[in-house]
Chains A and B, each alone.
Chain A
Amino acid sequence: MADITAPAYRIIPIIPALIPDAMAGKGPYVANDKINEAIGFPGQLVEDWHDRAIAKMGELLSKYRSLKVFMDACVHCGACSDKCHYFIGTQDPKNMPVARQDLMRSVYRRYFTLPGKWFPKLVGARDLTREVLDEWHNYFYQCSECRRCSVFCPYGIDTAEVTMAAREILDSVGYGQKYSNEIIGKVHKIGNNLGLPGPALIDTLEGLEEDVKEATGIDVRFPIDVKGAEVLLITPSADFFAEPHIDSLIGYAKVFHATGTSWTLSSMSSEAGNFGMFIGNYDQLRKIAMRIRQAALELGVKRIVVGECGHAWRVAYSFWNTLTGVGDGADANDKFAQMLQKQLDHRYKQPMHICEFTWDMIEDERLSFDKSLNDKHIITFHDSCNVARGSRMGNLPGGQFEIPRNIIKAVANNFVEMSPNTTHERTFCCGGGGGLLTDDLLELRVKGALPRMEVLQQAVDEHGVNFMATICAICKAQFTKIMPIYGFDRRMVGGVHQLVSNAIILGDKK
C-alpha cells in the first residue's frame, strides 16, 4: 500500500481527459462463504447466476420506482459526466455517473425493452455475461453513493439508487463485497460495526469518564443501558475508540452534562451506521435499524438523538420512520409505529441530530463557551454527502448546512468557507463513503479525495486553514488516512463536537 501516491492537483480545475480502464480490476475483495452465509446470502457465485440476476433485476424494477424511471429516463446528455469525484480522480470513463449507470442500463435494455431485444447494438444493449458481472462488481464498488450526480441531472437520476440495486443483485447471486457484508454480520451478532462487545464498551466509557475528569475536574458521565433516561444516543461505533471521533463523543457528553439532560447509550444497539443502505438491501437496512427501535422500547426513552455520522443520519432522518416508526405522524391504526411513537416526546423532532440538539441548546442560552479556546484553529467545514443531499436538520430546507456552521461560529472565532462549488449541496464526497472505507480500495480512496484536497489546499494557502470540521465518522476516518498522503497533518480533521468540547464551559453557568 505504501506505493500509493496522491494524484497531482489540477492547476485550473479542468475536466480531465479519459483514461479507459484506468481502474479496471481495482475493485474490492469478494466476500467469502462465511461472511455471506452469516447474513443470508449465497456463499459464493451460484451456478445459475445469470437467470437469478435477471430475475432479481426484474423484481427490483417492480419494487422501486426510482430504478424503473432512472433506467428509462437517461438521455446521455452528459450533465453528470464530470461531477463524480472518482471520475475526476481516476479519469476512468466508467466512473462517470452516466457510464456507471449504463453498466446496468445496457443489461436492462437487453432484457426488459423491445429495442434492446431486437436491435441490441443500436441502443447499446448487452447480454449479462460473466465479464459484465465482473465489471459490475468492480465499478459499482467504486461509487460512494454520494448523490452528487443527482443534483445536476435534469431528471434527478441518482446513481446511488442504481449502485444500490446492482449491489443487491450481486449479493443475491453470492458475489458481494467483503468489507460491507462482514460489517453487517458484526452488527447483527454484536450490535456494532466494529464488533466491540458490551463489556469492552462499558470499559471504554469508564476510561473516558476518568479522562474527562482528569482534563476538566468535572464528573461528566457516559451512561449506558440506563432505563428511563430521557435521551437515547445512537452514534457511530467509531466514536467509542477511533481518533478523532472520540473527541466528538466527549463533546456530546459535555453538552448533555452542561444542559442537565439525562441520557444513555445502549450496549445492544451501539451503532448508528447502517451498511444495509450501502448494499441496497431493504431487509438488512430494516433489520439493522430495528435494533434502535428495540433499544428505545426497552429503555423507555423519550427522545432519540443521533451522533456525527453522515449515512447514519440519512438513514435516521429519511428512513427510520419508514423502517421502524422512529418519527412522528403514524396512522392511528398503525400499531407497529404507534407503539413507539406514543412513547416518544413529540415536542422534539424524532429522531434528532446531535447538532440540532446542541444548536437548540445554544439558542436557548443553556450553553456557554469560551471561544478563545478554539483560537488556535482556523476552521473550515466539509459538508458530508449524505447529510447534505440525503437529509435535513431544523425546520427549513438547507438547515443541514446552516446548523453545523452556526455551532462552529458559536464556539470558535475563525471560520472560513471552501470554494462554493464544493460545499453545501455541491459538496464532494470524502472518497471513502458508501462502503468503500476499506484498505483494498485505498488507491480509489486516495484518488477520489482529489477534488476535496484541491480546495482544502486552496483554503490553506489563502486563509491558513488548519482544521477541517466534519460530522461524519467515515469522513473522519477517510481523511485521517489519506490526508497524510496529500501532505496534510492528519490531526487537521475533526468533528464539530470536538470544537464544542474544546470551548464549552462546564459546571455553573457564568
Chain B
Amino acid sequence: MNLMIAILFYLATLFFVVGLFHRIRVYASTPAPLKIPTTPAPTTTGGVVLRMTREVVFFESLFKANLWTWAMGWMFHAGMALVLMRHLRYFTEPVWGWVVLIQPFGIYAGIAMLIGLCGLWTRRLFVERIRYISTPSDHLMLLLLIGIVSSGLLMQFFVHTDVIAVKNYFQGLLNFNIQPLPVDITLALHLLSVVMLLVIFPISKLLHAPGVFFSPTRNQTDNPRENRHLSTWAAKLESEK
C-alpha cells in the first residue's frame, strides 16, 4: 500500500508536470496572427498585467456575467488556494512561518471550498441551461473535487489521521525514501483522488488554469495602429509576393 501510493504519486506527478509543460509550450508557441483583444482593452503592457490580475484573482468577467456562479466559483478557488498553501506543511521542514500563520484559516477555506463546489454542482444539476451543456465528465470532476475536500475535512474534524506519519511519508517521497503511511480508508481515498486529479489535469478542461494566461482576448495590448503585429506564418505571405 505504501509503495503503491508512492508509485502512483510519482507517476501522476510526472504526468502532471510533463503534460502541463507540454501544453504550456504548445500554447506559447502557437502564433496569434491577429490582434483580437476584447475591447475596451489596455493599451500598455502594464495595463494588460492589471487586467489579467483582475481576471485571475477576482474573476472580473465572471463577476459581470453571473453573480451566483461568480460567488460559488470564487469561494471554491480562493478556498483552494489557501488549502493548497496550508498543505505545504506536509512538504516543508521546518514549516515556513507564513504557512504556520495560515493554518487556522485553511480550515475555513476547506469549508468554503465545499460550499462553493456544492453550489456549482447544484447549479449544474438544476439550472436547465447549465445541465444542457454539461457532459458526464463535468459532473464527475465536481464529484472528484467534492470527494477530495470532504475526505480532507473528515480527517480534520471527525476521523483524525496520524498527520505526523503522513508528513513523514511525504517527506520520504521527496527524498525517494518510502516511509509507512497510516492505514486509513479516508486518507487513502483522499490521496488516490488527488492522484486522479493530477492525471486528469493536463488533458482536460482543468487546462483553463494555464489557458487563461494565453487567451489573446485578455492578454493582448490594444495598440494595432501604433505597432505592426505580424506572425511568422503571416509574414511569409508577404515575401511570396
Contact residues of B between 193 and 234, Cβ < 8 Å to A: 203-208, 211-212, 214-218, 222, 224-230, 233-234
Contact residues of A between 277 and 326, Cβ < 8 Å to B: 282-283, 286, 317-319, 321-322, 325
Q: Are B212 and A391 in contact (CB under 8 A)?
A: no
Q: Mark the stretch among A78-86, A213-221, A498-506 that contacts chain B.
A: A78-86
Smallest distance from the beta carbon of A123 to chain B beta carbons, Å?
A: 5
Q: Mark the stretch among A94-102, A189-197, A232-240, A460-468 that contacts chain B.
A: A94-102
Q: Is A43 interfacial (CB 8 A cutoff)?
A: no
Q: Is A137 interfacial (CB 8 A cutoff)?
A: no
- Complex: chain B residue closest to A78, CB-CB: B130
Known contacts being A63-B31, A93-B132, is A69 close to B211, with CB within 8 Å? yes
Q: Interface digits, B10-44 against A, CB 8 Å rule (1 contact, 0 not)?
A: 00000000000001001100111111101111110
- Complex: chain A residue closest to B129, CB-CB: A81
- Complex: chain B residue closest to A154, CB-CB: B62
Q: Are B27 and A65 in contact (CB under 8 A)?
A: yes
Q: How many residues of B contact A (CB 8 A)?
A: 66
Pick the residue among A70, A78, A96, A156 that contacts B69 (CB under 8 A). Answer: A78
Q: Mark the stretch among B133-141, B147-155, B157-165 that contacts chain A.
A: B133-141
Q: Which residues of B contact A157 (CB under 8 A)?
A: 215, 217
Pick the residue among B61, B130, B229, B233 that contacts A321 (CB under 8 A). Answer: B229
Q: Which residues of A contact B134 (CB under 8 A)?
A: 76
Known contacts being A75-B205, A321-B225, A322-B224, is A286 close to B237, with CB within 8 Å? yes
- Complex: chain A residue closest to B206, CB-CB: A75
Q: Is A124 interfacial (CB 8 A cutoff)?
A: yes
Known contacts being A65-B32, A66-B216, A322-B228, is A282 close to B234, with CB within 8 Å? yes
- Complex: chain A residue closest to B223, CB-CB: A329
Q: Which residues of B contact A98 (CB under 8 A)?
A: 133
Q: Are A73 and B133 in contact (CB under 8 A)?
A: no
**With the chains together, A150 CA to B233 CA distance in Å?**
26
Contact residues of B between 142 and 182, Cβ < 8 Å to A: none
Q: Which residues of A contact B136 (CB under 8 A)?
A: 121-124
Q: Which residues of B contact A445 (CB under 8 A)?
A: none
Q: Is B4 interfacial (CB 8 A cutoff)?
A: no
Q: Are A72 and B211 in contact (CB under 8 A)?
A: yes
Q: Is A11 interfacial (CB 8 A cutoff)?
A: no
Q: Are A392 and B40 in contact (CB under 8 A)?
A: yes
- Complex: chain B residue closest to A327, CB-CB: B225
Q: Is A448 interfacial (CB 8 A cutoff)?
A: no
Q: Is A168 interfacial (CB 8 A cutoff)?
A: no
Q: Are B224 and A155 in contact (CB under 8 A)?
A: no
Q: Is B238 interfacial (CB 8 A cutoff)?
A: yes
Pick the residue among A63, A73, A390 that contacts B36 (CB under 8 A). Answer: A390
**With the chains together, A355 CA to B35 CA distance in Å?**
22
Pick the residue among A158, A319, A351 that contacts B35 (CB under 8 A). Answer: A319
Q: Are B205 and A151 in contact (CB under 8 A)?
A: no
Q: Is A400 interfacial (CB 8 A cutoff)?
A: yes
Q: Are A282 and B40 in contact (CB under 8 A)?
A: no
Q: Is A487 interfacial (CB 8 A cutoff)?
A: no
- Complex: chain A residue closest to B74, CB-CB: A154
Known contacts being A63-B30, A150-B217, A389-B38, is A77 close to B228, with CB within 8 Å? no
Q: Which residues of A contact B140 (CB under 8 A)?
A: 122
Q: Are B222 and A392 in contact (CB under 8 A)?
A: yes
Contact residues of A between 359 and 403, Cβ < 8 Å to B: 388-392, 396-398, 400-401
Q: Is A62 interfacial (CB 8 A cutoff)?
A: yes
Q: Are A156 and B227 in contact (CB under 8 A)?
A: no
Q: Is A12 interfacial (CB 8 A cutoff)?
A: no
Smallest distance from the beta carbon of B99 to chain A beta carbons, Å?
A: 28
**With the chains together, A17 CA to B55 CA distance in Å?**
30
Q: Is B93 interfacial (CB 8 A cutoff)?
A: no
Q: Which residues of B contact A93 (CB under 8 A)?
A: 129, 132-133
Q: Interface digits, A57-69 against B, CB 8 Å rule (1 contact, 0 not)?
A: 0000111111011
Q: Are B226 and A328 in contact (CB under 8 A)?
A: yes
Q: Are B66 and A78 in contact (CB under 8 A)?
A: yes
Q: Is A410 interfacial (CB 8 A cutoff)?
A: no
Pick the residue among A76, A150, A351 that contacts B205 (CB under 8 A). Answer: A76
Pick the residue among A64, A68, A122, A327 that contacts B228 (CB under 8 A). Answer: A327
Q: Are B138 and A76 in contact (CB under 8 A)?
A: yes
Q: Is A74 interfacial (CB 8 A cutoff)?
A: yes
**With the chains together, A151 CA to B218 CA distance in Å?**
10
Q: Which residues of B contact A401 (CB under 8 A)?
A: 40
Q: Is B79 interfacial (CB 8 A cutoff)?
A: no
Q: Are A102 and B133 in contact (CB under 8 A)?
A: yes
Q: Are B208 and A65 in contact (CB under 8 A)?
A: no
**With the chains together, A151 CA to B66 CA distance in Å?**
12
Q: Is A330 interfacial (CB 8 A cutoff)?
A: yes
Q: Which residues of A contact B238 (CB under 8 A)?
A: 336
Known contacts being A81-B130, A156-B61, A337-B228, is A73 close to B211, with CB within 8 Å? yes
Q: Which residues of A contact B128 (CB under 8 A)?
A: 17-18
Q: Is A113 interfacial (CB 8 A cutoff)?
A: yes
**With the chains together, A122 CA to B38 CA distance in Å?**
33
Known contacts being A390-B39, A391-B39, is A154 close to B34, with CB within 8 Å? no
Max count, chain B CB within 10 A of own CB: residue among A77, A82, A151, A397:
A77
- Complex: chain B residue closest to A79, CB-CB: B65
Q: Are B62 and A161 in contact (CB under 8 A)?
A: no
**With the chains together, A503 CA to B188 CA distance in Å?**
78
**With the chains together, A293 CA to B136 CA distance in Å?**
51
Pick the residue among B36, B40, B226 that contacts A318 (CB under 8 A). Answer: B36
Q: Is A452 interfacial (CB 8 A cutoff)?
A: no
**With the chains together, A282 CA to B34 CA distance in Å?**
10
Smallest distance from the beta carbon of B164 to chain A beta carbons, Å?
A: 37
- Complex: chain A residue closest to B134, CB-CB: A76
Known contacts being A123-B204, A150-B217, is A78 close to B133, with CB within 8 Å? yes
Q: Is A115 interfacial (CB 8 A cutoff)?
A: yes
Taking A65-B27, A336-B238 as known contacts, 20 extra A-B pairs with beta carbons closer than 8 A to each other, sorted by chain A number, are A63-B31, A73-B205, A77-B69, A78-B66, A78-B127, A82-B129, A96-B129, A96-B132, A113-B203, A121-B136, A124-B137, A150-B38, A152-B65, A156-B215, A156-B218, A328-B228, A330-B228, A331-B228, A392-B222, A425-B39
User: Could you name 16 residue pairs across A and B whose Cβ atoms are closer than 8 Å?
Assistant: A62-B30, A65-B31, A65-B214, A69-B215, A69-B216, A70-B215, A78-B69, A79-B62, A156-B216, A158-B36, A321-B227, A328-B226, A330-B228, A351-B225, A390-B39, A397-B39
